[in-house]
Amino acid sequence: RKEVEQDPGPFNVPEGATVAFNCTYSNSASQSFFWYRQDCRKEPKLLMSVYSSGNEDGRFTAQLNRASQYISLLIRDSKLSDSATYLCVVHKGSRDDKIIFGKGTRLHILP
């Protein structure tokens, strides 16, 4: 099993719809989780951290399911500007561990 796995997509979603995608991770000791957004030919940018209790930032909700070892990102009332690739990032949490990036899920919002 890969350390971090994401459905590559693309997810083609009409504007205004709700879309959700998951990211699974293999190491149960993982402690820190993030979602990044990457626009075409640009650098990845932090979208939000994922907390154990789940967290919300406007139209975006991130959740962590430790039992099944996945994190999720839900986007409500999607906008054309949400079109991007969303990268899942996982860190085991001990001092010597590297952060692991997923390969990303491509999202296209259709007008």
Partner 1 sequence: DVKVTQSSRYLVKRTGEKVFLECVQDMDHENMFWYRQDPGLGLRLIYFSYDVKMKEKGDIPEGYSVSREKKERFSLILESASTNQTSMYLCASSDIRNQPQHFGDGTRLSIL
Site for partner 1 contains 98 (CB under 8 A): yes
Contacts to partner 1 from residues 28-67, by CB under 8 A = 31-32, 34, 36, 41-46, 49
**Which residue of 104, 105, 106, 107 would you call a contact of partner 1, by CB under 8 A?**
104
For residue 109, which of 88, 76, 83, 87 has the smallest C-alpha distance? 83
Q: Do 89 and 35 touch, CB atoms closer than 8 A?
A: yes
List the beta bridge partners of residue 62.
55, 73
Binders of partner 1: how many residues, by CB under 8 A? 24
Which helix (H) or strand (E) is 45 found in, with range? strand 45-50
Residues at the contact surface with partner 1, assessed by CB under 8 A:
31-32, 34, 36, 41-46, 49, 87, 89, 91-93, 95, 97-99, 101-104
